[in-house]
Amino acid sequence: MSKEPVKDLSVNSVVEPEAQASEDIERGTEIPEGSRVVTIIVNKGEVTEKVYQTPAGERITLKF
């Protein structure tokens, strides 16, 4: 793996998913405590889907 710095931040930008996830939780979707995000799908710079894995091994998908 190359150790060169990333020069084009538009290709490798940071997404702040916490605000969007908390909006869905307020709408009635509950993510159990201790769950981890296993997949984040980004389409045109927007988070469109997140997949969480609960401590029990269940997967929960949130679509935005």
Q: What is the DSSP letter of 11?
A: T
Q: Per residue in 5-27, is it b (16+ CB within 10 Å) or e — as a string?
A: eeeeeeeeeeeeeeeebeeeeee
pLDDT band at 35 (very low <50, low <70, confident <90, very high): very high
**pTM recorded for the entire structure:** 0.56
Strand positions, DSSP E, the chain: 36-43, 46-53, 59-63
| Among candidate residues 45, 39, 44, 34, the one with its CA nearest the CA of residue 63 | 39
Q: For position 13, what pLDDT does the model report? A: 47
